[in-house]
Amino acid sequence: MREELENPVSHFIIDLIERKTGAKDPVVREYLEKAMQITLDHHTCLSLPSDPDLEQKLVQHPAIGGPAENCPFILFDNKLYLNRYFHMEKEIALMLFDRHEKQILEPGPDLKTELDRAFDEKNYQQKLAAFMAMTRKLTIISGGPGTGKTSTVVKILLLAKKLESGLKIKLAAPTGKAARRLRETLEDVETKDFSKPEVLTVHRLLGARLRNQVWKHGQENKLEADMLIIDEASMIDLSLMHHLLSAIPDHARLILIGDPEQLPSVEAGNVLSDLCYGDQGFSEGFKQKAEKIIGEFDAPLKSALPDTICHLEKSHRFSINSGIGRLSSALRNRSMDGYLSDEKVNFEFSERKNLTTLLTDHWKEYLGLLSVPEKDMELLSKTFQSVAIICSRRTGTSGSARINDEMESLLEDRDIKEPGQEFYHGRPIIITENDYRTGLFNGDTGICFKDEKTEDFVIKFDGIDKPIPELEIPKHETCFAITVHKAQGSEFDKVLFVLGRDGARDNPNLINLEMVYTAVTRAKREITIFSDKETWDKAISRAADRTGGIKEQIARIKKEKENHDK
């Protein structure tokens, strides 16, 4: 937590509260300040020590209320919230619980036949996930890289087409890049008489306008959908999840897909991880019904939201002995022992000055293509999309901004670009804000080249047919190197992961295991990790666990319902 930083806004608000209420208690003030400060690191609440005296002080303060009160701060389950975050979590928990509790859709007579046709015995987890998606109002499909999450989505779509051809299906993902990647996967599927659904960003799906201050769809204007599939759900923050759930019709089926071990959302909350915390669980009634369709399976019977979560474990991308597979599995299970290197996983514990050679070697093929007179844009694009330099930070000597400057200086030394030239042939570009006018979204990448007819520079973006003139490009930057957050939702054959601290304030939100895991799992074939041993050891030893209360909110709602039903 950023306790050492002064926050004038929190001081002003608490001073105002003290003037309005006349209540001045230095202990209470300290915890009010902590509750506000902790939101800067995207926690939704402050966990309190088990101290009856402290609890009594907080309860008696006029600015702090219980769950049913409308006070600036809310005390619940030994956690101190800002009012906004408490009610947002409460409403999310209620919407999820209501969807979980709604009538189960009975499996049709042809479901077993189609599931048997779509999945073999080795993929029973994917089969179970598809069964849940077809029969439940809320399904969460979690799993690491290469476990078949996306392929399961494709088969769910095919099942829906065959068994319920009239369904209105919507697909979305949090970022433009993630949406485009899912769209490309669907485009690769050969189907007959099947109109593949459009894949949108969640913001576009909900009709976000005026910098997300106005939403077309919400509580008063629901989406027109019978089935809604959201990919990369770990990237959805608390506020966006609230907007999304508010806009879904009661009858619709919601399917959330994601890896809860990846970096949490950029803004406050960690919704998917909170929901997937602990074991997947199934009620005895659901288990018996499912086994009639998919066969016997082992699963615990306890969960905050039983019959909802299906975790895919088997990786189809990495062999059991591959370095990337073993490393990602160890990081996911928090069981690192040594450095798990092989010919495809290379650790470079070295000084910053030795990074330059690695940068040049990593982009060697791409730089070679830029140096020849004939520019093959198709080959250039293919090469660019196959490699990535991923950095733990944007700033600092090992940050993506510095590395991009270094790469462009190298291009100037080789006469590939002129000093001070913004656009040049082969410049890789990443969009840094959503722009609905051009259809470009935060995280979209493209390559700059000169139009032979106009002599002007245009940018060809992955997934967009027509190149876009340089003057129409929204806010962007060069992307020989990108941050881990920008790399989420992407995959590359070869990755150079630069994990640097640069003597910056030691913040667990910047250097942690989830960041390392997310970076490592962007690599499909080969990864080099550049760091110093101290930073690496520190990163893998701590988690970016965010404090939240969705699990406790669901448990409270469940208990209230049980008491009401007695």
Confidence label for 2 from pLDDT (cuts 50, 70 and 90): very low
Encoded amino acid at 556, one letter? R
Say whether pLDDT at 546 is over 60: yes
Distance CA 130, CA 136 (A): 10
Region 158-183: what's the mean pLDDT?
86
Distance CA 193, CA 161 (A): 9
Say whether pLDDT at 262 is over 90: no
Mean pLDDT, all residues of the chain: 85
Return the closest-CA partner of residue 547 out of 58, 76, 113, 21.
Answer: 76
Fold exhibited by the domain 107-316:
Rossmann fold (3.40.50)
Say whether pLDDT at 17 is over 90: no
More confidently predicted of 453 and 227: 227
Region 193-216: what's the mean pLDDT?
77
Return the closest-CA partner of residue 328 out of 312, 343, 345, 311.
Answer: 345
Region 308-326: what's the mean pLDDT?
79
CA-to-CA separations, 406 to 6, 355, 403, 476, in angstroms, rounded: 34, 11, 5, 18
* CB contact at 8 A, 515 and 392: yes
Lowest mean pLDDT across 154-168, 226-240, 326-340, 362-376: 326-340
Secondary structure of residue 489 in the 3-state scheme: coil
* pLDDT at residue number 212: 56
Under CATH, which architecture does the 335-541 domain have? 3-Layer(aba) Sandwich (3.40)
More confidently predicted of 123 and 494: 494
Secondary structure of residue 73 in the 3-state scheme: strand
Region 69-87: what's the mean pLDDT?
93
- The reply to whether 335-541 shares the fold of 107-316 is yes
Confidence label for 4 from pLDDT (cuts 50, 70 and 90): very low
pLDDT tens for 283-293 read: 888 888 888 88
For the ranges 183-197, 242-256, 309-323, 380-394, the one whose mean pLDDT is highest: 242-256
Query: Left if phi > 0, otherwise alpha if psi is -120 to 50, otherwise beta: which for 488?
Result: beta
* pLDDT at residue number 484: 92
* pLDDT at residue number 16: 86
Evaluated on CA atoms 216, 220, 225, 228, the torsion sign reads positive
CA-to-CA separations, 342 to 322, 323, 346, 351, 513, in angstroms, rounded: 8, 6, 7, 22, 20
Region 16-30: what's the mean pLDDT?
87
Distance CA 510, CA 488 (A): 15
Confidence label for 3 from pLDDT (cuts 50, 70 and 90): very low
CA-to-CA separations, 537 to 182, 338, 504, 512, 532, in angstroms, rounded: 34, 10, 16, 10, 9
- Tokens read off for 60: 């008696």
Domain ranges of the chain: 8-82, 107-316, 335-541
Say whether pLDDT at 560 is over 90: no
Fold exhibited by the domain 8-82:
Arc Repressor Mutant, subunit A (1.10.10)
Length of the chain: 566
**275-302 residues labelled b (16+ CB within 10 A) or e (exposed):** bbbeebbbeeebbebbeebbeeeebeee
- 370 — phi, psi (to 5°)? -75, -25
Contacts 24+ apart (CB under 8 A), 434-437: 434/176, 434/201, 434/203, 434/474, 435/474, 436/204
Say whether pLDDT at 213 is over 50: yes
Say whether pLDDT at 91 is over 70: yes
Region 102-119: what's the mean pLDDT?
82
Region 124-136: what's the mean pLDDT?
91
More confidently predicted of 227 and 213: 227
Distance CA 434, CA 538 (A): 35
pLDDT tens for 442-498 read: 788 899 988 878 888 999 887 677 889 989 999 999 999 999 988 887 889 999 999
- Tokens read off for 91: 């409403």
* CB contact at 8 A, 565 and 102: no
Contacts 24+ apart (CB under 8 A), 51-59: 54/27, 57/25, 57/27, 57/28, 58/28, 58/31
Encoded amino acid at 535, one letter? T
pLDDT tens for 28-57 read: 899 999 998 888 888 999 999 999 999 999
Say whether pLDDT at 193 is over 70: no
* pLDDT at residue number 301: 61
pTM of the model: 0.86
Region 211-237: what's the mean pLDDT?
88
